[in-house]
Amino acid sequence: MSHRGSRVLRLDALARVEGEAALHLAVRDGTVAEARLRIYEPPRFFEAFLVGRGHGEPPDITSRICGICPVAYQTTACQAIERACGVTVDGPLAQLRRLLYYGEWIESQTLHIHLLHAPDFLGHPSAVELAREHRAAVERGLRIKQAGNTIMEQLGGRAIHPINVRVGGFYHVPAPAELIPLAERLRRAHDDALETVRWVAGFDFPDATYDGPFLAMRDPGRYAIDSGTPAVMTAGAGSNGPAPVRALPVEEFERHVVERQVPHSTALVSELDGHHYLTGSLARYAVSGQWLHPSALDAARAAGLGDPATGAVCRNPFRSIIVRAVEVAHAVAEALRIIDAYEPPSRPYVEVPPCPATGCAATEAPRGLLYHRYAMDADGTLTLARIVPPTAQNQAAIEDDLRRQVQSRLDGPGEPPGDEELTALCERAVRNHDPCISCSAHFLDLTVKRG
Amino acid sequence: MTGRVVVIGVGNPFRRDDGAGPAVIEALRARAPEGTVLTDSDGEPGRMLGLWRRQDAVVVVEVVHAHPGQPGRLHTLTAERAARCAVRSASTHALGLGETFALAAALDRMPGELTVHAVEGEDFGLGRGFSTAVADALPELIRHVAKAIDEAHDRLRRASTLADDRGSA
């Protein structure tokens, strides 16, 4: 077997050091023999060291899993613990939680759209070159992101790893007047978000289809983020129309979603009833698109995503950038609605007394469905913790997508692709899914083997 | 509007030597002059760009890899030099510090002055605590940064006085 075109891409000199992944692609006789996303981020043992901690600690401990989506971890942990203890957090406290979660969605999705994904469509190697040529768009992205950031700081206590969240609610809740400047910022962000939908809708999108099953939270009447029940939309067989959706009660999650170890990755690989599947923006849009905020719904229609009200589904991973942009518009509009209707709760949290029980919950992190399960004894000491993050769930689907896209290129007309073209294609394919390794991949080395 | 001195410690305190930046910020909290903004950051560019205004003097404290390396060695980088280190990012959702500066320059959002004080790291494993090389270098790094803060304040004061003189002339 020859070995050429080995290419190493890395951040030099001032690199951050949070996560590591590589892609291994083997092409033999014009056929993709192997596409492996090798995650070699060291194991982090969060599930192990949660055991023995108090039942009030998971929100603070699990928020450290990710600097981009800590609220997803906090919210899911709180819900699972509260469910175990038979406590329901509703009313203004639930609304504030959702507002904080929207802040994270706005930040995370906007970062990916404007600084990481858009350069792929406009022929730029990075956000820096993009900013030189499309300065207004990047400035707009930073403004939207800053609005999400402000929600995080105001409700979470700080922008990274928020500290104001506790089981049962918050340590401190804002007075309505404190949210007025935030609402002003969000109003501008709403216009900006709609403009971003129009911007990304004008990009050129290669043909591609992910036709495996989708998994997303479903809560009829609402574009589910922190409520509802996991639901599976069956494989689409290339259709952009609706496919049957079946509920997967969260209590049964682990019976259907099975994680297994693979030699090439320190992340577990998940399968849903024995098949790879996709969670995240495309899945949410397929399952809940009809319940988007009206302004986001209009934007989606105008952007050519079809009419989600009649069940249009987007299965092209490249077009996920439009879906993310629509989700940002939705999140901003809903955040504004929450602030406009906000009346402070009588107290910042409800008591959650421990009890010997098990509880599980799932919510929609920006990258997809996040599942937690905890068991505790009578004094609240945790005896078990299970966390299934979205990127681990998507790993097999990303590998499938890579195989199909590279194969499609190899089978297509024109000159056979060189390593450079394949590298670019693979990187784009991975970025379409916005994976979060550690959750974060800071070095993506690509090895192409041909034989 | 008068500029501020903004000091940003970039890094992750739970990845050994990568936490040197935030550690310097903590060490300076008790002794930084009034009007100094001390903050830490995970280096995420959108948040970084929001930490300063154009008239500010920014001091970034960071850990670097060098090739060949000498753990514990201190570096002072200008903004231009740091931005030149912005090779193409291969990351899926992160940008490096150099790219953050290059992005700021492309958007005309660079601060009035910017310097990076860095130490070469050795151990980026999981957990708290520094390698011996970085631990030994920290006091010197803190002195460098403290001096940079004082000098930045002096320059801002002189610039402000100059502006006042021009205004009253």
Residue of chain A nearest B40, judged by CA positions: A160
What pLDDT is stored for residue A18 in this prediction?
A: 31
If one counts every other C-beta atom within 10 angstroms of the C-beta of residue A207, the result is 8
Residues of A (375-394) whose Cβ lies below 8 Å from B: none
Confidence check: pLDDT of A292 > 60: yes
Query: Region A231-236: what's the mean pLDDT?
Result: 88
pLDDT tier, B162 (very low <50, low <70, confident <90, very high otherwise): confident
pLDDT tier, B84 (very low <50, low <70, confident <90, very high otherwise): low
What 3-state class would DSSP assign to B128? coil
Nearest CA to A115 out of B48, B55, B8, B83 is that of: B48
Mean residue pLDDT of chain B comes to 85
Confidence check: pLDDT of B89 > 70: no
What ipTM score was computed for the predicted complex, to two decimals? 0.81
Is the Cβ of A13 closer than 8 Å to some Cβ of chain B? yes
Amino acid at residue number B54: R
Exposure string for A75-92, b = 16+ CB within 10 A, e = fewer: bbbbbbbbbbbebebeeb
What pLDDT is stored for residue B98 in this prediction?
A: 77
Confidence check: pLDDT of A15 > 80: no
Is the Cβ of A9 closer than 8 Å to some Cβ of chain B? yes
Query: Region A100-104: what's the mean pLDDT?
Result: 97
CATH superfamily of A41-414: Cytochrome-c3 Hydrogenase, chain B (1.10.645.10)
What pLDDT is stored for residue B100 in this prediction?
A: 85
Question: Is A68 close to B91, i.e. CB distance below 8 A?
Answer: no
pLDDT tier, A245 (very low <50, low <70, confident <90, very high otherwise): very high
Burial class (CB in 10 A: 0-12, 13-18, 19+), A350: middle
pLDDT tier, A447 (very low <50, low <70, confident <90, very high otherwise): low
Confidence check: pLDDT of A9 > 50: no
Question: Is B92 close to A443, i.e. CB distance below 8 A?
Answer: no
Query: Region B140-147: what's the mean pLDDT?
Result: 96
Rounded to 10°, the helix A320-340/A294-302 angle is 160
Checking DSSP bridges between strand A257-262 and strand A265-272, what pairing results, if any?
Answer: antiparallel
Residue of chain B nearest A13, judged by CA positions: B65
Order of strands across the sheet with B36-41?
A: B36-41, B5-10, B57-64, B113-120, B74-78
What pLDDT is stored for residue A449 in this prediction?
A: 60
Phi, psi of A448 (to 5 degrees): -110, 125
**In Å, how far is B158's CA from the nearest CA of chain A?**
32
Q: What Cα–Cα distance (Å) separates residue A441 from each residue in A308, A317, A332, A411, B153?
A: 33, 19, 28, 30, 38
Cα distance between residue A14 and residue B63, in whole Å: 7
pLDDT tier, A438 (very low <50, low <70, confident <90, very high otherwise): very low
Which residue from A42, A126, A431 is facing B99, i.e. has the nearest CB? A126
**In Å, how far is A41's CA from the nearest CA of chain B?**
11
Contact A234, A248 (CB under 8 A): no
Cα distance between residue A210 and residue A215, in whole Å: 13
Residues of B in contact with A20 (CB under 8 A): none
If one counts every other C-beta atom within 10 angstroms of the C-beta of residue A48, the result is 10
Residues of A in contact with B98 (CB under 8 A): 13-14
Cα distance between residue B72 and residue B62, in whole Å: 12
Query: Region A404-426: what's the mean pLDDT?
Result: 84
What pLDDT is stored for residue B164 in this prediction?
A: 78
Query: Region B120-135: what's the mean pLDDT?
Result: 91
Query: Region A204-216: what's the mean pLDDT?
Result: 93
What pLDDT is stored for residue A443 in this prediction?
A: 31
Residues of A in contact with B42 (CB under 8 A): 16, 67, 160
Question: Is A14 close to B126, i.e. CB distance below 8 A?
Answer: no
What pLDDT is stored for residue A442 in this prediction?
A: 30
Structural domain boundaries of chain B? 5-168
Structural domain boundaries of chain A? 41-414
What pLDDT is stored for residue A23 in this prediction?
A: 77
Question: Is A146 close to B90, i.e. CB distance below 8 A?
Answer: no
Residues of A (226-265) whose Cβ lies below 8 Å from B: none
Question: Is A135 close to B93, i.e. CB distance below 8 A?
Answer: no
Question: Is A126 close to B89, i.e. CB distance below 8 A?
Answer: yes
Residues of B in contact with A146 (CB under 8 A): 46, 50
Which residue from B47, B88, B93 is facing A9, i.e. has the nearest CB? B88
Is the Cβ of A414 closer than 8 Å to some Cβ of chain B? no
Contact A215, A283 (CB under 8 A): yes
What pLDDT is stored for residue A20 in this prediction?
A: 57
pLDDT tier, A221 (very low <50, low <70, confident <90, very high otherwise): very high
Tell me the per-residue pLDDT of A168-208, one tens digit each, with 9 for 90 and over: 999 999 999 999 999 999 999 999 999 999 999 999 999 89
Residue A327 region, left (φ>0) first, then alpha (ψ -120 to 50), else beta?
Answer: alpha
Cα distance between residue B84 and residue B101, in whole Å: 9
Phi, psi of B37 (to 5 degrees): -100, 115
CA angle B99/B17/B23 to nearest 5° reads: 90
Tell me the per-residue pLDDT of B4-29, one tens digit each, with 9 for 90 and over: 999 999 988 888 998 999 999 999 99
**In Å, how far is B152's CA from the nearest CA of chain A?**
23
What pLDDT is stored for residue B113 in this prediction?
A: 92
pLDDT tier, B99 (very low <50, low <70, confident <90, very high otherwise): confident
What pLDDT is stored for residue A33 in this prediction?
A: 85
Residues of A (45-64) whose Cβ lies below 8 Å from B: 64
Confidence check: pLDDT of A65 > 70: yes
What pLDDT is stored for residue A13 in this prediction?
A: 22
HEC string of chain A equals: CCCCCCECCCCCCCCCCCCEEEEEEEEECCEEEEEEEEECCCCCCHHHHHCCCCCCCHHHHHHHHCCCCHHHHHHHHHHHHHHHCCCCCCHHHHHHHHHHHHHHHHHHHHHHHHHHHHHHHHCCCCHHHHHHHCHHHHHHHHHHHHHHHHHHHHHHCCCCCCCCEECCEECCCCCHHHHHHHHHHHHHHHHHHHHHHHHHHCCCCCCCCCCCCEEEEEECCECCCCCCEEEEECCCCCCCCCCCEEECCHHHHHHHEEEEEECCEEEEEEEECCECCEECHHHHHHHHHHHCCHHHHHHHHHCCCCCHHHCCCCCCHHHHHHHHHHHHHHHHHHHHHHHHCCCCCCCCECCCCCCCEEEEEEEEECCEEEEEEEEECCCCCEEEEEEECHHHHHHHHHHHHHHHHHHHHHHCCCCCCCHHHHHHHHHHHHHCCCCCCCCCCCEEEEEEEEC
Cis-peptide into A435, omega within 30 deg: no
Residues of A in contact with B65 (CB under 8 A): 12-15
What pLDDT is stored for residue A17 in this prediction?
A: 25
Q: What Cα–Cα distance (Å) separates residue B127 from each residue in A54, B19, B23?
A: 21, 10, 14
Nearest CA to A323 out of A293, A280, A291, A294 is that of: A280
Task: Tell me the two tokens of residue A382.
Answer: 């945790």
Which residue from B49, B103, B126 is facing A128, i.e. has the nearest CB? B103
Question: Is A13 close to B66, i.e. CB distance below 8 A?
Answer: yes
Which residue from A12, A146, A427 is facing B85, i.e. has the nearest CB? A12
Provide Rg for chain A, Cα atoms: 21
Residues of B in contact with A115 (CB under 8 A): 45-46, 95, 103
What 3-state class would DSSP assign to B9? strand
Question: Is B44 close to A17, i.e. CB distance below 8 A?
Answer: no
Confidence check: pLDDT of A428 > 60: yes
Question: Is A434 close to B88, i.e. CB distance below 8 A?
Answer: no
Query: Region A29-57: what's the mean pLDDT?
Result: 82
Residue of chain B nearest A111, judged by CA positions: B46
Query: Region A409-416: what's the mean pLDDT?
Result: 86
Contact A141, A110 (CB under 8 A): yes
Residue of chain A nearest B82, judged by CA positions: A14
What pLDDT is stored for residue A158 in this prediction?
A: 82
**In Å, how far is B61's CA from the nearest CA of chain A?**
11
Among A143-152, B83-92, B147-156, the least confident range: B83-92
Cα distance between residue A215 and residue A203, in whole Å: 27
What pLDDT is stored for residue B168 in this prediction?
A: 67
Is the Cβ of A124 closer than 8 Å to some Cβ of chain B? no
Of A131-135, A423-427, B1-5, the range with the highest mean pLDDT is: A131-135
% of chain A beyond a pLDDT of 90: 62
Residues of B in contact with A37 (CB under 8 A): none
pLDDT tier, A116 (very low <50, low <70, confident <90, very high otherwise): confident
**In Å, how far is B97's CA from the nearest CA of chain A?**
6
What pLDDT is stored for residue A375 in this prediction?
A: 98
Interface test with A, best of B15, B92, B97 (most A CBs within 10 A): B92
% of chain B beyond a pLDDT of 70: 89
Which residue from B49, B96, B103 is facing A14, i.e. has the nearest CB? B96
What pLDDT is stored for residue A451 in this prediction?
A: 56
CATH superfamily of B5-168: HybD-like (3.40.50.1450)
Cα distance between residue A45 and residue A47, in whole Å: 5
Tell me the per-residue pLDDT of A351-391, one tens digit each, with 9 for 90 and over: 999 999 999 999 999 999 999 999 999 999 999 999 998 88
Tell me the per-residue pLDDT of B30-70, one tens digit each, with 9 for 90 and over: 888 988 999 988 888 888 888 999 999 999 998 887 767 78
Residues of A in contact with B49 (CB under 8 A): 142
Residues of B in contact with A129 (CB under 8 A): 106
Among A10-19, A280-289, B45-54, B140-149, the least confident range: A10-19
